[in-house]
Amino acid sequence: MSPNRSRDGRRLSAAVACAALMGGFATSSTARASAPHVVVPGETLWSISAANNLTTRTVAAFNGIAEDAQVVEGQTIQVPTVDEGAVALAGVAPVATAAAAPVATGGSHTVVAAESLSSVAAARGVSLADLAAANGLASDALLIEGTVISVPAPTATAATSASTAGMGHIPSPSGELHLDPAAADSWNAMRDDSLNNYGVDLYPAGPVSAYRTPEQQQELYDLYLSGQGAPANPPGTSTHESGIAVDLADPSMRDMIDQIGSAYGWMGTIPSEWWHVSHGG
Ligand SMILES: [Zn+2]
């Protein structure tokens, strides 16, 4: 694929696209191509993807990098169009295989009755995503007793490379965000209730306002320490990293959750932070 890359950034392209929509699709047939995005401090592959309404997996695949790859300031990430992203995804499925295969030195495992990919992953200290990828399997694939599967070596990033695999999804203006599956289910039910019965939408304030990787939490904590960000917990101590917390976009949303949230297990738990609500607290 050799897209004819434009020099303007993706944000400008998005603005142009909106203008085109408002202008009655006058220019909607104009071929759009991937646009380079230069990473600025505080950004992650996830935040860049979310800002462009793409999944992290899509942008990672398009750039030939791992979904949990760390981007650094000044690095150029190509932001694909939706179509380009789909092509990239189709070409590398399962996405993690290429990255995981070289480190598959952990050995093999013969499946016994009642084992699952996730139970083997937990027992061997590797992420579900890595284990699935090492075997060319979907993370929810069923294991058959007696099958020999390969087990990649545990890595320092095993915990984070699971990233959003197996997580639940909630809608947001920044694109689809992630929560623990039970928390996501109850969030979506609560949101439906709020929307349908009270006319109030509930959504996270930004792309890192629901589930966060430890790296994203570290970035927010660093911003807080430098005086540039809102209060944030040190990495490893935030309920956002467990996928059971959401930072709300507006105080009216908190009012709704104070009214109806308890039926869904959602509530505010930090008195000084109206925006922070968590599940199962
Ligand atoms: Zn929070």
Same domain flag for 212 and 269: yes
pLDDT per residue rounded down to tens, the chain (281 residues): 444 444 443 433 433 333 333 333 333 334 467 888 888 888 888 888 888 888 888 888 887 888 888 888 888 888 888 888 887 877 765 433 333 333 334 678 788 777 777 777 766 666 777 778 888 888 778 888 888 888 877 654 444 445 677 899 999 998 999 999 999 999 999 999 999 999 999 999 999 999 999 999 999 999 999 998 888 899 999 999 999 999 999 999 999 999 999 999 999 989 999 999 999 95
Same domain flag for 174 and 124: no
| Separation between Cα atoms, residue 99 and residue 60, nearest integer Å | 11
Same domain flag for 137 and 151: yes
| End-to-end Cα distance, the chain | 48
Same domain flag for 196 and 269: yes
Report if residue 252 sits inside a domain: yes
Strands 108-110 and 148-150: antiparallel
Report if residue 65 sits inside a domain: yes
**Contact call for residues 164 and 157 (beta carbons, < 8 A):** no
Specify the 3-state DSSP secondary structure of 108: strand
Residue type, 188: N
**Contact call for residues 147 and 136 (beta carbons, < 8 A):** no
Q: What is the pTM of this model?
A: 0.45
Residue 146: both structure tokens together = 């007696």
pLDDT at 266: 98
- Alpha helices by DSSP H, listed for the chain, are 10-22, 45-51, 56-63, 82-92, 97-100, 117-124, 128-134, 158-161, 181-198, 214-225, 251-260
**How close is the Cα of 90 to the center of ligand 1, in Å?**
35
Query: Where residue 147 sits, what CATH number does that domain have?
Result: 3.10.350.10
**How close is the Cα of 247 to the center of ligand 1, in Å?**
5
Report if residue 146 sits inside a domain: yes
**Contact call for residues 82 and 54 (beta carbons, < 8 A):** yes
Residue 218: both structure tokens together = 């570290």
Measured in whole angstroms, the distance separating CA 175 from the mean position of its chain's CA atoms is: 10
- Among 132, 160, 188, the domain-final residue is 160
Which 8-state DSSP code applies to residue 270? -
Query: Where residue 229 sits, what CATH number does that domain have?
Result: 3.30.1380.10
**How close is the Cα of 3 to the center of ligand 1, in Å?**
39
**How close is the Cα of 272 to the center of ligand 1, in Å?**
11
Same domain flag for 150 and 189: no
**How close is the Cα of 139 to the center of ligand 1, in Å?**
29
Residue 94: both structure tokens together = 């399962």
pLDDT at 165: 79
Same domain flag for 41 and 118: no
Report if residue 17 sits inside a domain: yes
Same domain flag for 85 and 103: no
Same domain flag for 247 and 190: yes
- Among 93, 110, 127, the domain-final residue is 93
pLDDT at 192: 98
Q: Which residue range(s) make up the domain with 263?
A: 168-279
Counted domains in the chain: 3
Residue 88: both structure tokens together = 């990239």
Report if residue 4 sits inside a domain: no
Same domain flag for 48 and 130: no
Sign of CA dihedral 170, 218, 94, 122: negative
Report if residue 2 sits inside a domain: no
Strands 276-279 and 266-268: antiparallel
**Contact call for residues 146 and 187 (beta carbons, < 8 A):** no
**How close is the Cα of 74 to the center of ligand 1, in Å?**
28
Report if residue 201 sits inside a domain: yes
| Separation between Cα atoms, residue 127 and residue 276, nearest integer Å | 28
Report if residue 3 sits inside a domain: no
**Contact call for residues 131 and 152 (beta carbons, < 8 A):** yes
- Among 141, 160, 179, the domain-final residue is 160
